[in-house]
Amino acid sequence: MIHYYQIDVKEAIQEIESETQADWIALYDATDEEIKKCLQTYKLPEDLLARIRQEEEVARLEIYQSDELKEVQILVLTNLTNQRDKRIEERLEPIIFIFSDTVMLTLTTAESNFFPRLLEKHGSAVDSKESLTAYAILMIYSHYIQELRQIKEVIDALDDDARETTKNEALDRLANTERIVIFLDHTLQEQKETLQTFFEETKFAEQLSDTKLRYEINLRQKYAEKMVRLYRDLLENVGGLFSDMMSNNLNHLMKFLDSAALVVSVPAMIAGIWGMNTGGLPGEKSNFGFLAVSAGAMFLAILTAIYLRNKKYSK
């Protein structure tokens, strides 16, 4: 269904039944038919319905003229849901704000609980369309910061694993975490540019009476961007540590194989010399010649193995 809200400075925000008296029309659990009807009523682009279902939808600001609402500003932001069992691109959901002089509309997917949670958390503090939008932006960045804090715990665990193991499970977690951080990095950069344009080219900043909200938005924005850059660098460092550990393990393996080849080559060389049919070799006519040669070859092989084991190659 479509929700109609009236925003009053004294009584905060209230849900009403009258569309004509509504300051805010929220379509967050509406059917496709209800959304299409609303878009047609206000002569808004019908592709907005398709946009909220696109994983590749990007943050942007569009300004154009409408016969019904006059000047219309469409702000598209990207929220991050807490459904961590899904792929990162499935967790990024577009939040669409449509501003006009008379009414504000918001559009999300039917599965989204973004605005109900917003009202539950900040509903008593909302006293204008601008403050509602500001609290929505704050909550969006809070979701990114929460996710980045979870990623920091994963990075710390991967850093410990990189010093002890190079198992596929740890490498898979590293690859998945890098993928998430790349998505978050690009999304936050797009959102930063969009919000900067929104604040500079519209009257939103002037009409927002609470300057602390604008400051809080800037603070969380900078914090999230700093965290994602820092964690991306940390992941590169952890990835390099994994590569160094694998190279070190490979070097140890190659050193072992080379040493084993040298040890095996000693008795093989001795047996080869005594196996020549040239005559004159000691013990060639003795019944114990074979045992003597075998024992000598084994003795030399053991000495070679002890020498290679104790030799320090770093000198």
Q: Give the helix ranges, DSSP H, for 63-167.
A: 88-91, 114-122, 129-162
Q: What is the predicted pLDDT for the residue at 149?
A: 94
Task: Supply angle C-alpha 73, 194, 85, rounded to 5.
Answer: 105
Q: What is the predicted pLDDT for the residue at 267?
A: 75
Q: What is the predicted pLDDT for the residue at 69?
A: 64
| List of residues 6+ apart from 66 with CB closer than 8 A | 42, 43, 44, 72, 100
Q: What is the predicted pLDDT for the residue at 72?
A: 86
In tens, the pLDDT along 210-244 reads: 889 999 999 999 999 999 999 999 988 887 767 66
Q: By the 8 A CB rule, do 187 and 59 touch? A: yes
Residues of the chain with confidence (pLDDT) below 70:
9, 51-56, 66-69, 165-167, 241, 243-249, 251-253, 273-290, 293, 308, 311-315
Q: What is the predicted pLDDT for the residue at 81?
A: 93
Q: What is the predicted pLDDT for the residue at 165?
A: 65
Q: Give the helix ranges, DSSP H, for 166-288.
A: 168-201, 204-207, 211-274
Predicted TM-score (pTM) of the model is 0.78
Q: What is the predicted pLDDT for the residue at 56?
A: 65
How far apart CA 279 and CA 21 sit, in angstroms, is 117
Q: What is the predicted pLDDT for the residue at 222?
A: 95
